[in-house]
Structure 1
Amino acid sequence: AGSGFIIEPTGIVLTNNHVVEDAVSITVRLDDGRSFSAVVVGRDPLTDVAVVKIKDKVEGLPTVKLGNSDALRVGDWVVAIGNPFGLASSVSLGIVSARARDIGAGPYDEFLQTDAAINPGNSGGPLFNMRGEVVGINTAIVGGGTGIGFAVPSNLVTALVPQLEKEGSVTRAWLGVGIQDLTRDLSSALKLPVTEGAILTQVNPASPAAKAGLKSDDVVTAIDGQPVTSSGQLTRTVALKRPGSTSTLTVFREGKKQDVKVILGTRPDLEGVTSRKPQGDDSQESSRRVGVSLQNLDARTAQQAGFNERQGALITDVVPGSPADRAQLEPGMVVVEANRKPVNSADDLAKAIRAAPAGSTLLLRVAAPGGSRMLRALRMP
C-alpha cells in the first residue's frame, strides 16, 4: 500500500516506482470509497517515478495541478497528504528544509527535504505548496530520523511524464564521462579562476564526449549557458536533454576558458530498466537460483559505458539478500569469466550456474564501467 494522486480526469495517476514495481495487480482506491483496477503505463526507477492508469473508462475524476518546484524557497510551508500505515488521507504540515538533496538513492538525486511528517505508506503521495499545487512526490525517509523526509521535485516529474505516458520508460542523453565535484583545493591545484563545476575524471573511448574533443581534467562550468556548480547538476542537466541534440559546454582546460559543442548520445541501459529481455526459460531459471537478472552485453552498450569487453553477461538486477547480493554483484557489472572460462553471453553464465553443485562456489571475473576488473565468489544455494 502506498499513495498517489490523479493528474488527468481520465484516470492518470502519479506515484513512486517502488510502490508499483513488480506488482501482480494494482488497485486504486479513492477517498470517496470507489476502487478501480489499474495498470502501470510507465516507470523510471532511476528517479523513482511511475505513471499508473485506471483500467475502467472514467471521466471527471478530481485532479491536482503540478506546480513549479524551482520557485520554492527554504522555509516555505508545504503540506503532505497520503496513506501512512493505512491511515488514508492523513495530512501533515511542515516547511521546505533544503533543496537539491543528494541522498545516494540514484544518479539523478535532486530531492526536496521537508520536515512535514512522512511515514511508510506516504510514498507516492503529493507534497503541496500553499497554493494547492503539487511541488513534489513524497518518496523517502531517513531511518531512525524525525522530521527528515524527501520528495521528488515536480519540475523533474513534469519533464518525465510525457515520455513515460507515451513510451513507458525514459530515454536520457549521455556524455560518456566520469566526473567529480570541483573543490576550492582542486581549483587552486588546477590554477582555475572558478571554484564550482564538474571535473571530467575520465572520457570513455568513442563516447560523445571523446568525439567532441573533451579531455580528462577539463572542468565544465556551464551547459547551454546554464551554470554547472557540481557533478550531480551536470549529470541531471544532460539527462534531461534529447539524445542526438547538440549542446555547448563551457569548459576550462589548463586554465583557459573555451566552448565545446557536443552531439549528445543515448544513455546505455546499464540497469536494464527500459527493457528486460528474457534470455530463455533455462537462463531465467538459473538466474532465479542465485537472485540475478542477466542480458547479453551488446557492442553499443559496451562502447558507450567504457567497457573494454565486447561480450559477456550484463547484470541488470540483483535481488536483495540473495546469493548474488552476498557475493557483492551489482547491476551494471559484466561477468566475463566463470571458473576461469570465458563468458560470452547471458546463456553462458546461466549454464555455468546451472552446472554448479549446491554448496560449491563459482569464481566470477567481473568488469565495471571504465575497464576495472574484480573477482567475485558466488556460493551456490
Structure 2
Amino acid sequence: GGPLLNMKGEVIGINTAIIASGQGIGFAIPSNMAAGIVEQIKSGKKVSRGWIGVTIQDVDENTAKALGMEHPSGALVASVLDDEPAAKAGIEAGDVITKVNGKSVEDASALLRAIAAHKPGTSVPLDVWRNGKAVTMDVTLGDRQTGVNSGKPSEAGQKQQNQGQLGLTVRPIKDEERRELKLEGKGGLLVLDVDPSKPAAEAGVRPGDVIVKANRQAVSSPEDLSKIVAGEGSKRGAVMLQINRRGENIFRAVPVSSGK
C-alpha cells in the first residue's frame, strides 16, 4: 500500500508489492487507472472493467511479415472464447487488433489496458488486420471481473476462474488445445486474461500461455493453483510458474503477498 511518488512529489501509482531482495523492485497500480476505479467506488457502483473474451500475444517481426503488415504492432488473437463479445462481433483467431476506439495499441498488454478502461456493456470499435487489409468491428464489451457478458453467463465463463492475487484468469486446457499445442501428459491451465496492474503481468505471463506447473507441482484446475499460491507462495513470497508458450518451456517467478 501507499503512494508511489516521482521526483517531483507527484503520485504516479499505488504500491501493491515490493521484493525485499530485489533492491527497490516493486509493483504498483498506475494512478490514472486507480483514478477511474475510485470514481466507480464513489458513485456506489462495483468496480468493473471491459472484457472481449480472447487470448492474445504480441506480434513479432516475422509474424508481421507473414501477415503482410508493415510494422510489428498490435495484439494477435490466438483464440476466441465461444459466446463471448469478440466471437459475437466476428473476431477470429489469426486477426490482429491494432486499434481500440481509434487509438493504436502496440502490443498485447496495451490492448488489455485499453479494453479494461471501457465500461462493460459499451460498444467499442476495434481496428483489425485480416487477410492483408484493415477492417473495423464494433464489439459490445462484457465484464472482465466475471469473464462473461452482461447477460446470462456462458458455459466458458462458468468454468474459468480468476486468480485474483496473481491477476490471472485461467481455465483447464481442453484436449483439442492440448493436441494443437503438442503438450505431453495431463493437466495444465490456459491463461485467458492477465490484469496489467497485478504481479503476473509484471513477471511476463501472457494470455495464451499454458501453466503446466506451479512450484514444480502439476496443476489441473484453478483450485490447484490457488492452493499453491496461498500455501507455499504466501510463505516464500513468490511462486514459480512453469509455462508452455507456443511449444517453448519457460519459467516465470511471480511475487505473492504474505497477507500479513
TM range (shorter): 0.5 to 0.7
For the pair 1:302 / 2:150, whether they are aligned, the reply is no
CA distance in 2, matches of 1:368, 1:200: 14
For the pair 1:190 / 2:84, whether they are aligned, the reply is no
Q: Across the two proteins, how many residue pairs are aligned to each other?
A: 183
Letter in 1 for 2:153: R
Closer, same or farther: CA 253–150 of 1 in aligned 2, 3 Å: same
Partner of 2:12: 135
Per the TM alignment, residue 194 of structure 1 is displaced from its structure 2 partner at its CA by 2.6
Per the TM alignment, residue 368 of structure 1 is displaced from its structure 2 partner at its CA by 5.8
2:55–2:191 contact (8 Å) kept in structure 1: no
1:223–1:249 contact (8 Å) kept in structure 2: yes
Q: Report the structure, 1 or 2, having the larger helix content.
A: 2
Per the TM alignment, residue 245 of structure 1 is displaced from its structure 2 partner at its CA by 1.0
For the pair 1:161 / 2:38, whether they are aligned, the reply is yes
**Greater RCO (Cα-Cα under 8 Å, separation 6 or more):** 2
CA distance in 2, matches of 1:244, 1:129: 36
CA distance in 2, matches of 1:192, 1:153: 31
Closer, same or farther: CA 144–238 of 1 in aligned 2, 3 Å: same
Structure 2 portions without partners, runs of 5+: 173-186, 193-209, 211-218, 225-260
Per the TM alignment, residue 239 of structure 1 is displaced from its structure 2 partner at its CA by 1.1
Partner of 2:110: 233
Length-normalised TM-score, structure 1? 0.41
Length-normalised TM-score, structure 2? 0.58
Partner of 1:267: 144
Letter in 1 for 2:146: D
Larger Rg: 1
CA distance in 2, matches of 1:331, 1:219: 21
Q: What do the CA deviations read for 1:66-91 (whole angstroms, capped 9, x no partner)?
A: xxxxxxxxxxxxxxxxxxxxxxxxxx
1:269–1:301 contact (8 Å) kept in structure 2: no
| Cα RMSD (Å) | 3.8
User: Which of 218, 231, 244 matches 2:121?
Assistant: 244
1:248–1:260 contact (8 Å) kept in structure 2: yes
Q: 3-state SS of the aligned residue for 1:300?
A: coil
Q: 3-state SS of the aligned residue for 2:128?
A: strand
Per the TM alignment, residue 165 of structure 1 is displaced from its structure 2 partner at its CA by 3.2
CA distance in 2, matches of 1:375, 1:150: 28
Per the TM alignment, residue 197 of structure 1 is displaced from its structure 2 partner at its CA by 0.8
CA distance in 2, matches of 1:317, 1:210: 24
Letter in 2 for 1:207: E
Per the TM alignment, residue 130 of structure 1 is displaced from its structure 2 partner at its CA by 5.0
Per the TM alignment, residue 204 of structure 1 is displaced from its structure 2 partner at its CA by 1.4
Closer, same or farther: CA 315–180 of 1 in aligned 2, 3 Å: closer
